[in-house]
Amino acid sequence: MTTTTEVRTPAPTTRHFALAVLALAVGGFAIGTTEFVTMGLLPQISEGVGVSIPQAGHVIAAYALGVVVGAPLLAFFGARWPRRGLLVVLMGAYALFNALSAVATSFELLAVARFLDGLPHGGYFGVASLVAASMVSPERRGRAIAWVLLGLPVANVVGVPLATVLGQHLGWRASYWLVALLAALTMVLVVAFVPACPGNPEATGRRELAALGKPQVWLTMVAGAVGFGGMFALFSYIAPTVTEVSGLPGSAVPVFLLTLGVGMVVGNWAAGVLVDRSVLGSLLGSSIGLGVVLLGFWATAPHGWLALPAAFAVTFVGSVLALSMMIRLIDVAGHAETLGAAMSHSSLNVGNALGAWLGGLVIASGLGFRAPILVGVALAVAGFLVVLVSAAVQSRRSEGARG
């Protein structure tokens, strides 16, 4: 199934396109940095606001909840807005709420700030992806969107480690101030380099939300959430897996984290090429492929450094799954493409929470730190089955239309 972007911008020169994509990717870099740096600074945050580390961990869930809630809200209210202006507003909100996180003096205020900070997440990536797609021919939209989303995996490789070190040396508040500055920089870059792109004048909040009545939209979101949860069943517990299962020293954990991040970067690039060939094919292949590489990691995990290539493969395939699911959602949402693009990030954040939660359950039940990997395999297979159902429904409707 394919769709055409309803609002297109004049074709930019190669240089202007590169600068526009860079501006949009800086915003993704800021978002990726703040989304994951909290995990590395939980001890400092818990001490700073006077709560236990497990309680401080709720601010991570608060951010994820903000992402889930914010995507449909922004699609409802913002579909008709000029897209460049909307991007500036979203990054302004991101700067403001990160600054609020930095000055929070209590756990309650920090939790509220993190929830508010999650609200623009899905909307920003959704609108930025649509803007990038509007600047290229339809057969190259996958690669254009992949370049915009590249800021997120690069943040895992560069931004999160640097922000963590900054927070450890200058206090955890410094990390949030850094992201606030990155968000402000994105606002300047977007105004300077992103071409004006009008919103959809025919869009209404009711029409955007009407897409939620389409079975294919829900099937795609469920497939993304369940399948991507498989990757995070591993990702969430990679540190104890490396030390307790692989028998490696703690110094090996950053190497595995770096490898996971590099896998995201390379996978994101490859995903753009694969999706341009076949969206549904990429979604089917990456869904079952994730189960296969997770099984490979399970098999190699007890053998030390031999698990490293499998770790790379997991995030490589997971990145292909994420982009395939996003573009599939844009397609099946039809005229409500703003909602489809934004809701993909809600779906992925549900997957993050699902994988971490189920992985924690099997660890708590005494099955050990290797067990979450098998949970990930099961989730990936379940996601693949949902994609098969989606493909079968699409095929039957196509045959019915021809008949």
pLDDT value at residue 402: 56
Looking at domain 8-202, which of 3.40.50.150, 1.20.1250.20, 1.10.10.10, 3.40.50.720 is its CATH number?
1.20.1250.20
Question: What rounded mean pLDDT belongs to the chain?
Answer: 83
pLDDT band at 11 (very low <50, low <70, confident <90, very high): low
Contact between residue 79 and residue 211 where contact means Cβ atoms under 8 Å apart? no
Question: Which sequence spans correspond to the domains of the chain?
Answer: 8-202, 204-403
How many Cβ atoms from other residues are within 10 Å of residue 218's Cβ? Answer: 17
Q: Higher pLDDT residue, 71 or 312?
A: 312
- CA gap 309, 317 in Å, rounded: 12
- CA gap 288, 294 in Å, rounded: 10
Q: What is the pLDDT of residues 330-378, one digit of tens each?
A: 888 877 777 777 788 788 878 877 887 888 888 888 888 888 899 999 9
Least confident piece of the model among 104-108, 150-154, 170-174, 372-376: 150-154
Name the CATH superfamily for 204-403: MFS general substrate transporter like domains (1.20.1250.20)
pLDDT value at residue 2: 41
Collapse the DSSP code of 242 into the 3-class scheme (helix H, G, I; strand E, B; otherwise coil) and give the result: helix
Contact between residue 212 and residue 35 where contact means Cβ atoms under 8 Å apart? no
- Directed axis angle between helix 337-362 and helix 371-402, to 10°? 150
- CA gap 164, 196 in Å, rounded: 36
Contact between residue 340 and residue 216 where contact means Cβ atoms under 8 Å apart? no
Q: Which H or E element spans position 121?
A: helix 107-134
pLDDT value at residue 185: 96
Q: Looking at residue 39, what DSSP letter applies? A: H
Return the biggest CA–CA distance within the chain: 68
pLDDT band at 312 (very low <50, low <70, confident <90, very high): very high
Q: Higher pLDDT residue, 279 or 340?
A: 279
